[in-house]
Amino acid sequence: MEVRNCRRCGKIYQYVGGKPICYDCKEEDEKDFQKVKDYLYEHPNASMTVVSEATEVSISTIRQYIRDERLMISESSPVGIDCESCGVSIKTGRYCKECSAKLATDLNRAFVRPETQERRLDGTSIQNTKMHYLNRRKDHNR
């Protein structure tokens, strides 16, 4: 079992995966998110500052919701975040269309992987191999 410090309140808690925050903070976070979402739904033209003040959720938290692609911003809304690569204003994710297209190409180029060879050798897919391995580990611990 993994124990961590909550990144939001600093409390020690049992980490179960996902965001590195404790159960209480997760609930708070969900409430904040809902508040922002509802506010934006009712006030589609509100700016980031206005939304932040009205919901008492910090701008950086709202930005995080957008980056995580949890919060959908309408095209006409003044709310937005900057592309992490070129700084142009975007509505979701981390990069603008141009930059993500460019990054995808770079990524594909970087992925000339040895996996392909392995797969050809034993005829099974990598995923199956991994699954098999995990099952075996579980048995072993029992």
Q: How far is the CB of 122 from Zn ion (least distance, A)?
A: 41
Q: Is residue 134 a contact residue for Zn ion (CB under 5 A)?
A: no
Verify binding: residue 81, Zn ion, rule CB under 5 A: no
14 pairs with which residues across the strands? Answer: 3
Q: CB of residue 25 vs Zn ion: minimum separation in angstroms? A: 3
Q: Decide: is 16 part of the binding site for Zn ion (CB under 5 A).
A: no
85 is an interface residue for Zn ion by CB under 5 A: yes
* Contact status: 22 vs Zn ion (CB under 5 A): yes
Nearer to Zn ion, 9 or 72 (CB): 9
Decide: 6 and 20 in contact? Cβ < 8 Å.
yes
Name residue 4's beta-bridge partners. 13
Out of 86, 101, 126, 134, which residue is the one contacting Zn ion (CB under 5 A)? 86
| CB of residue 42 to Zn ion, shortest distance in Å | 29
| Token pair for 79 | 């709310």
